[in-house]
A and B are shown apart, each in its own frame.
Chain A
Amino acid sequence: MNHSSEVIKQVRELLIISGVSEGEALEEMVDHYLCDIESQIGQNISPQIAIRKTLQNIARTDYSYQANAKRTNRSLLVAIMGLMLLSFMVYKVAIETKDNAPIEFVQNIPVLHGWPLEEAFTQISSKFGIRQHPILMSSVLHKGVDIKAKIGTSVLATGDGVIKETGFTEKAGKYIIVEHNARFSSRFNHLASVDVSVNDRVFKGSMIGKVGNSGMSTAPHLHFEIMDDNQHVDPLTYLMPNL
């Protein structure tokens, strides 16, 4: 299978940004990730999702084992990642519109999420991925990130959207789900208060609730999730710093 030179270029550039130095090792890694994309497509995953997953995987991987790997500022990397994904999607849209592709695709472009709290400098207390649950004491997928914050800190919508659901469960505590478009939604758990109602229109930066410690939680924090095509993704690879 032949990848478009655009995909190869993106994989190579992201690897360089991530600290892999140019040369034989870089070519080997490029081949590795293109194989990864091909293998996913072979399992009936759509090329766009396969490419996105692989790019996210590259952004997450630590290449410091490489002899002359440079340490790169992570937030810069995340920002560049976001821009690359956006440019890739726009590029795809451009191609597909030319072929009279359905226009709804335009509404599926990734949301460049803002920071979910009014305070910019907060500590991530637990990342996305498999972890030992602090209360259940078993290995489970942590579907979002935990951001440490004081009770009462304002929780902000990370992108424009509509409130799809609010409520309370024993596990999540008070929660809010925001639908951004046909593809993306985000979820906020363990809130002290929910300050919006279902079907409310919200904008990036709108205050929607307050940080709390409700539900199955050991300390005040915000649990924040992003869903892409109904699949949980690592929010840290989608969050853009509030500029």
Chain B
Amino acid sequence: MDSNKKFLNGTLNTIVLALLKDNGKMYGYEICQKAKTKTDNSILLTEGAIYPTLHRLEKEGLIISSKEKVNGRTRKYYSINVSSIQEVNSQIHLLSQFTGHLRALLNLST
């Protein structure tokens, strides 16, 4: 789990962007659950990681938020800012390209 954390450091932004792009509107807890189920419980995003990331991405204008009342409490939903979709796509593309390079390098050394 500790090594996952190390890898997540540089990639969490992009992972969040990809999840939001795939699923449309999501709230923080939902993003954590999605990451967990999609990776067979290996990637556990903590609240200490996910919320600062969401707030930073919102500040940078890559995502936008909206609020809704659910069960008498306020829920904050996030979605991709359509005017930044090109930037989002390029970040996702760069990371998936990098993952490909990593795979090639790792295979080479075994």
Contacts of B30 in A (CB 8 A): 35
A36 touches B29 (CB 8 A): yes
A29 touches B47 (CB 8 A): yes
| Among B1, B70, B72, B76, contact of A24 (Cβ-Cβ < 8 Å) | B76
| Among B47, B52, B72, contact of A32 (Cβ-Cβ < 8 Å) | B47
Chain A CB within 8 A of B71 CB:
yes
B-facing residues in A83-103 (Cβ within 8 Å):
none
B48 touches A61 (CB 8 A): yes
The A contact surface, by secondary structure, is: helix
In the docked arrangement, what's the CA distance between A34 and B73, Å?
Answer: 10
In the docked arrangement, what's the CA distance between A130 and B29, Å?
Answer: 23
In the docked arrangement, what's the CA distance between A31 and B76, Å?
Answer: 9
Q: Taking A31-B27, A32-B28, A36-B29 as contacts, is the C-beta distance between A25 and B73 under 8 angstroms?
A: no
B48 touches A63 (CB 8 A): yes
A 14-50 binary contact with B (CB < 8 Å = 1; else 0): 0000000000110111111011100100000000000
In chain B, what residue has the closest Cβ to A36? B29
A8 touches B47 (CB 8 A): no
In chain A, what residue has the closest Cβ to B70? A31
Contacts of B75 in A (CB 8 A): 31
Contacts of A32 in B (CB 8 A): 28-29, 47, 51
In the docked arrangement, what's the CA distance between A1 and B28, Å?
Answer: 18
| Among B33, B48, B76, contact of A28 (Cβ-Cβ < 8 Å) | B76
Chain A CB within 8 A of B41 CB:
no
| Among B33, B51, B71, contact of A29 (Cβ-Cβ < 8 Å) | B51
In the docked arrangement, what's the CA distance between A39 and B28, Å?
Answer: 14
Chain B CB within 8 A of A121 CB:
no
Minimum Cβ distance to chain B for residue A64 (Å): 9
B73 touches A30 (CB 8 A): yes
Contacts of A34 in B (CB 8 A): 71, 73
Chain A CB within 8 A of B74 CB:
yes
Contacts of B74 in A (CB 8 A): 27-28, 31
Contacts of B52 in A (CB 8 A): 65
Chain B CB within 8 A of A123 CB:
no
Closest 9 CB pairs of A and B: A35-B29, A32-B29, A27-B74, A28-B76, A31-B75, A65-B52, A2-B71, A32-B28, A31-B73
User: Chain A: residues with CB nearer than 8 A to chain B?
Assistant: 1-3, 8, 24-25, 27-32, 34-36, 39, 61-63, 65, 130
User: Chain B: residues with CB nearer than 8 A to chain A?
Assistant: 1, 27-30, 33, 46-48, 51-52, 55, 70-76
